């Protein structure tokens, strides 16, 4: 806006006003106008600005993992049936009062024997889960145990054999790629292969059961990296105390 010229006028904000009017009045008017304009602008902004986008949680370790229901459920095949097989095989049950200490000792031994080789020994409920990346145990798409993993699996078998008052459940998992049917079949074969290996290295067959879970129990969902896909491909050996 262009301002006119007033002889002998004061200036404020670049525009003249009559010298006969008090300067304070014009200052107050000027600031009142500015404040009103700012208020209108703020209100307009409130009406037209879009709300902030909702927070999106990054892909992370899902509630499965150690909280997965299948790890806390009954033994594969049901306790009554499995206990009957153990009894037939003349495996003596644990005194329930001694079970916590028995499992704690087994946990320590397994951690020592498997340290530094890329698998996890985890305490879950009243038992132990040995979590083995499938890449250590199998070639891609294969259900044959890798020869290079033989020594490690033998060591696991030895510890499991010596602690014979436990049920042994073997679970196998795939990632989320491929068809569910193919993944289920592959996991069934892998779980059975590890169970057969353990039985072939001295673990009583009456103690062992296996189950493929395919892609139904991923650690990561969705899978956003190759690392997460690899983590989903795994074998788990669960050891639970046999107390009769």
Per-position pLDDT tens, the chain of length 244: 445 544 454 444 455 444 444 434 343 434 344 444 434 444 344 444 455 444 333 344 443 556 677 888 899 999 999 999 999 999 999 999 999 999 999 999 999 988 888 899 999 999 999 999 999 999 989 999 999 888 889 999 999 999 999 999 999 999 999 999 999 999 999 999 999 999 999 999 999 999 999 999 999 888 889 999 999 999 999 999 999 9
> 10 Å Cβ neighbour count for 228?
19
Q: How far apart are CA 62 and CA 54, in angstroms?
A: 20
CATH architecture, domain defined by 65-241: 2-Layer Sandwich (3.30)
Domain boundaries, the chain: 1-56, 65-241
pTM listed for this prediction:
0.73
Task: Tell me the helix, strand and coil percentages in the chain, rounded to 5.
Answer: 45, 20, 35
């Amino acid at each position: 806006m262009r301002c006119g010229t007033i002889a002998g006028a004061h200036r404020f904000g670049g525009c003249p006003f009559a010298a006969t009017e008090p300067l304070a009045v014009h200052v107050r008017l000027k600031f009142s106008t500015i404040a009103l304009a700012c208020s209108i602008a703020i209100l307009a902004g409130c009406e037209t600005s879009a709300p902030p986008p909702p927070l999106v949680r990054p892909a992370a370790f899902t509630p499965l993992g150690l909280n997965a229901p299948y790890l806390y459920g009954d033994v594969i095949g049901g306790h009554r049936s499995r206990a009957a097989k153990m009894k037939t095989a003349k495996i003596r049950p644990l005194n329930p009062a001694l079970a916590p200490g028995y499992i704690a000792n087994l946990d320590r031994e397994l951690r020592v024997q498997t340290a530094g080789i890329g698998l996890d020994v985890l305490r879950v409920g009243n038992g132990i889960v040995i979590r083995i990346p499938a890449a250590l145990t199998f070639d891609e798409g294969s259900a044959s145990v890798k020869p290079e993993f033989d020594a490690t699996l033998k060591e696991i078998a030895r510890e499991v054999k010596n602690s014979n008052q436990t049920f042994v459940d073997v679970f196998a998992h795939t990632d989320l790629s491929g068809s569910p049917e193919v993944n289920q079949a592959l996991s069934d074969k892998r779980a059975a292969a590890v169970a057969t290996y353990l039985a072939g290295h001295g673990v009583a067959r009456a103690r062992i059961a296996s189950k493929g879970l395919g892609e139904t129990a991923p650690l990561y969902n969705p899978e956003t990296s190759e690392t997460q896909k690899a983590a989903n491909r795994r074998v788990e050996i669960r050891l639970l105390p046999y107390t009769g």
